[in-house]
Structure 1
Amino acid sequence: MATGIEHPRDLPTPDRSEEPHPALEAAIESRVPRERGVDKLVFGVTALVSLAFLTWGFVSTGSLADASAGGLAWTMENTGWLFVLTSSAFVVFVIWLALGKFGNIPLGRDDEDPEFGTISWVAMMFSAGMGIGLMFYGVSEPISHFVTPPPGTGEAGNPEAAQNAMATTLFHWTLHPWAIYAVVGLAVAYGVYRKGRLQLISSAFEPILGRHARGAGGKAIDMFAIFATLFGSATSLGLGALQIQSGLQIVAGLGDTGNAVLVGIIAVLTAAFVLSAVSGVAKGIQWLSNVNMVLAIALALFLFVVGPTVFILNLLPTSIGSYVGDLPMMAARTAAEGPETSDWLSTWTVFYWAWWLSWTPFVGMFIARISRGRTIRQFVTGVLLVPSLVSVVWFCIFGGTAIDLQMDGTDIAGAGGLEAQLFSTLEAYPLATVSSIAVMVLVGIFFVSGADAASIVMGSLSERGTIHPSRPTVVFWGVATGAVAAVMLLVGGQDALSGLQTITVIAALPFVLIMVGLAVALVKDLAQDPMVVRRRYAIEAVEAAVITGVTEHGDDFVLSVEKGQSDTGEAGEAGEDRAGHPHA
């Protein structure tokens, strides 16, 4: 009986000395010859371009500021829609992967257990969700949206201002950023732990680029990944410097300090990072990171207890409900709604999407590293839900406290720039000086540990995917990150934050297209996964065999597996049909 369906018997017997049959998993080991040392092309080009940017910024800050403003205007006018569309598409994409036929594919061998237990994995995911951004925007974003509602959400002071402010904040900090990270994390983890590829962004493009992924095209992808990480990390460090400066002004009474102090703060913290890098105190950095996590949790609990506890508890379900209800409207907001909306998007939504895209090589590779042995469904569930829940609780505590103070007559929004609003909130409660110092310590450690982690990623990309890049390369990228942060702040002039936002959006634009290609390559990879191939063969073969068995023997037949026809068409020993091997 001819079924017209390709079955395993139609394929030549695979040569076991070469690649295994596509229905069988391969040995998970690098099948790409690993070259040692620095990739001179990748590191050379990225280092030269970075140094040229720094020279331009320090020598002619004004012209760089003008060029950045023009670049931002062009980017928003012509490609703002691309940031908005792709970011929401990535959310749909990773949920589709988790819920569909690829969900059970493991990031490792078929029988491999997760490398880390669930509790440890969740704890590390929690740690990845914390950073300078949550410290900087924990108060400032909710209170900004509360006093100046986003486009289309009513006038200031309207009854729904608080819930709209929280919904907008959660839109920027929950599913969307972590879906973006999940795309890179899945592509890297699948390639490294399932396919034995090198730990490079370019290696994930092998399904569509083939050997060119290890050639000039792949090197260009890794260069863009380095640039994205450099500017994304510099943005975070710049935010941290702004917040430490504000804290010093309030706690130490320094008054208006200007950009010179900002550059000095970055220099001191960068020196601290270099010292930690050259001394090799990896355990010390890990210890500091753990201390930072405890401090962050303690600060949140403190504010929850001494602040408006009942208001915060009420805000939690309200914020989640408003976020879910307003999600379609927020995801569809583009510059087509007018110049006011376009300006708002460049300051908030598009800036965030660009910032998250810039962070994908770093965070994506981190979550890939800790997720070996997890299935795609487990990975997506953990990556989307755990950090998102952390963000919900964090913003409800800090943002809710600030909104409550604002409604009671304390002008948090008018207390200074965004970087000062957290300190103004803490001043309304006991132990303000202690909690403010804790904030500066938190931000300082986040700065050092963040520069350390981002520099290792850039070093890895510069040295052909090694997980232990050389110390000089790591130090170079750490110092470059601090210097780029200083230039980005100087470009903003009096409004240093605008410099960070402007350059981040421009720098992230090329990586949007890389992310789209990464998603396509991942699907092509997964479609040929041994588990998917086996399932397809099983369904087709069993279906055809049942038809043959029922046709020839009625209900009285069984299925067996025997060698099928050869390429010359000769039948097997028992003379069974190609489709299903029935026996009487």
Structure 2
Amino acid sequence: AEQANAGLNFLFDIPVSDGSKVFLIIAITGVALISVLAGLDAGVKRLSEINMVLAALLLLFVVLVGPTMDIITGFFTSLVAYVEYLPALSNPVGRADTNFSQGWTSFYWAWWISWSPFVGMFIARVSRGRTVREFLTCVLIIPSLVCILWMTAFGGTAVHMVTEGVTAIAEAGLPIKLFTMLEQMPLQAITSFLGIVLVIVFFVTSSDSGSLVIDTITAGGKVDAPVPQRVFWCTFEGLVAIALLLGGGLGSLQAMAVSTGFPFAIVLLLACYSIIQGLRTEPKAVGANSEATVDSD
């Protein structure tokens, strides 16, 4: 909501205030509610497809209009660096850069872990019928490569502009750095508006997928939860977001993510053990069924 509000202020001079952010959250919650009521295929799936198309268009625009060769070479350089430095950056022992390790590594670990119950169940639901190989490819490998490409394209373009003397990007506030960078490129009004739409739709897809998972959990595993229950959880998510915003902004949200991430880390470790045990017994079960089939024949 903060970045969307900053983008609207940058493009349309809409004031940056708690009132504007609350209005955005209400609007986003309303769209998410419509998506949740429409169901997984009619609502969530279509929104996600629209989101990915818009993101791909913006990414393609930045790659083609920005420093294309630097982005391409930077992608492979970043990919190698990611593999090279990931083990060291994942190890908190003996680190001198406590500011980075706590502000980035530890925080984002807790952030992702706090999302894991929702994202994990949602991905499991939409991945039903897929093989483990397909799941790993489509959920882990491809998204990681896309993230590296996205960060390389936008981050590399911004760094290139700064080195060329465009200091406005470095001086801009964090929520409007994207729009400041797009301002230096052609069609800045269109691309900035597209960026705002992407931020909002990303928020909507996160909200509706989370609502669907909560509905499933509270309905005892039922896929089609009652409509009043869907309305309640989607609305409740919006109210919690407003409360966190008014109660302390991003700081309170970060504190909540870290505090909920730690207990879920223990649950995830148990889940990892369960997955390993399940995968170990899977071939035996298949073999036993095959033998039973042969014997019966």
TMscore range, shorter length: 0.7 to 0.9
Q: Are 1:512 and 2:265 counterparts?
A: yes
CA contact (8 A) 2:37 2:43 kept: no
1:276: Cα distance to partner?
A: 4.4
Q: TM-score, normalised by structure 1?
A: 0.46
**1:415 alignment counterpart:** 172
Q: Are 1:249 and 2:2 counterparts?
A: no
Residue 528 of structure 1 aligns to a residue whose secondary structure is helix
For 1:413 and 1:482, how far apart are their aligned partners in 2? 33
Q: Are 1:399 and 2:152 counterparts?
A: no
- The 5 Å alignment of 1:211-226 reads none
For 1:332 and 1:359, how far apart are their aligned partners in 2? 22
1:485: Cα distance to partner?
A: 1.8
1:246: Cα distance to partner?
A: 0.6
For 1:371 and 1:280, how far apart are their aligned partners in 2? 16
CA separation of 1:309/1:514 partners in 2, compared to 1, >3 Å: closer, same or farther?
A: same
For 1:307 and 1:429, how far apart are their aligned partners in 2? 8
1:375: Cα distance to partner?
A: 3.7
**2:279 alignment counterpart:** 526
Provide, for residues 92-131 of structure 1, a one-character-per-residue CA deviation record: whole Å limited to 9, x for no partner. Answer: xxxxxxxxxxxxxxxxxxxxxxxxxxxxxxxxxxxxxxxx
CA contact (8 A) 2:89 2:105 kept: no
For 2:70 and 2:276, how far apart are their aligned partners in 1? 45
1:444 counterpart letter in structure 2: I
For 2:115 and 2:142, how far apart are their aligned partners in 1? 18
CA separation of 1:312/1:517 partners in 2, compared to 1, >3 Å: closer, same or farther?
A: same
For 2:10 and 2:140, how far apart are their aligned partners in 1? 37
For 2:83 and 2:216, how far apart are their aligned partners in 1? 39
2:135 to 379, 397, 405: 379
Q: Are 1:288 and 2:55 counterparts?
A: no
Q: Which runs of 5+ in 2 are unaligned?
A: none
**1:126 alignment counterpart:** none
Name which one, 1 or 2, has greater alpha-carbon Rg. 1
For 1:374 and 1:308, how far apart are their aligned partners in 2? 38
CA separation of 1:374/1:295 partners in 2, compared to 1, >3 Å: closer, same or farther?
A: closer
- The 5 Å alignment of 1:56-205 reads none
Q: CA RMSD for the aligned pairs?
A: 2.5
- The 5 Å alignment of 1:432-443 reads 432-443=188-199
1:436: Cα distance to partner?
A: 0.9
For 2:44 and 2:269, how far apart are their aligned partners in 1? 34
For 2:138 and 2:49, how far apart are their aligned partners in 1? 21
Provide, for residues 161-218 of structure 1, a one-character-per-residue CA deviation record: whole Å limited to 9, x for no partner. Answer: xxxxxxxxxxxxxxxxxxxxxxxxxxxxxxxxxxxxxxxxxxxxxxxxxxxxxxxxxx
2:108 to 338, 352, 356: 352
**1:259 alignment counterpart:** 18
CA contact (8 A) 1:488 1:500 kept: yes
**1:317 alignment counterpart:** 76
1:388: Cα distance to partner?
A: 0.9
Q: Are 1:307 and 2:63 counterparts?
A: no
**1:491 alignment counterpart:** 247
For 1:380 and 1:291, how far apart are their aligned partners in 2? 23
For 2:265 and 2:53, how far apart are their aligned partners in 1? 35
Residue 64 of structure 2 aligns to a residue whose secondary structure is helix
Most deviating of 523-532 and 303-312? 523-532
1:266: Cα distance to partner?
A: 0.7
For 2:131 and 2:40, how far apart are their aligned partners in 1? 34
**2:118 alignment counterpart:** 362
1:285: Cα distance to partner?
A: 4.8
CA separation of 1:381/1:289 partners in 2, compared to 1, >3 Å: closer, same or farther?
A: closer
Q: TM-score, normalised by structure 2?
A: 0.87
- Aligned-pair identity in percent equals 39
Aligned residue pairs, count: 289
1:432: Cα distance to partner?
A: 0.9
1:477 to 202, 215, 233: 233
For 1:307 and 1:437, how far apart are their aligned partners in 2? 18
1:476: Cα distance to partner?
A: 1.4
Most deviating of 499-508 and 282-291? 282-291
2:29 counterpart letter in structure 1: T
For 1:396 and 1:375, how far apart are their aligned partners in 2? 31
Q: Are 1:453 and 2:213 counterparts?
A: no
Provide, for residues 360-418 of structure 1, a one-character-per-residue CA deviation record: whole Å limited to 9, x for no partner. Answer: 223222332343444434433443211111111111111111111121222323211x2
For 1:282 and 1:352, how far apart are their aligned partners in 2? 30
CA separation of 1:381/1:532 partners in 2, compared to 1, >3 Å: closer, same or farther?
A: farther
For 1:448 and 1:533, how far apart are their aligned partners in 2? 41
1:530: Cα distance to partner?
A: 5.4
1:284: Cα distance to partner?
A: 5.0
- The 5 Å alignment of 1:520-559 reads 520-529=273-282, 531=284, 534=287
For 1:393 and 1:510, how far apart are their aligned partners in 2? 32
CA separation of 1:470/1:303 partners in 2, compared to 1, >3 Å: closer, same or farther?
A: same
CA contact (8 A) 2:54 2:194 kept: yes
Provide, for residues 248-280 of structure 1, a one-character-per-residue CA deviation record: whole Å limited to 9, x for no partner. Answer: 11001235x232221221122212333444566
For 1:342 and 1:479, how far apart are their aligned partners in 2? 38
CA separation of 1:249/1:463 partners in 2, compared to 1, >3 Å: closer, same or farther?
A: same
1:325: Cα distance to partner?
A: 1.9
Most deviating of 514-523 and 424-433? 514-523
CA contact (8 A) 2:36 2:43 kept: no
1:282: Cα distance to partner?
A: 5.7
For 1:319 and 1:281, how far apart are their aligned partners in 2? 35
For 2:48 and 2:95, how far apart are their aligned partners in 1? 43
For 2:177 and 2:265, how far apart are their aligned partners in 1? 32
CA separation of 1:351/1:490 partners in 2, compared to 1, >3 Å: closer, same or farther?
A: farther
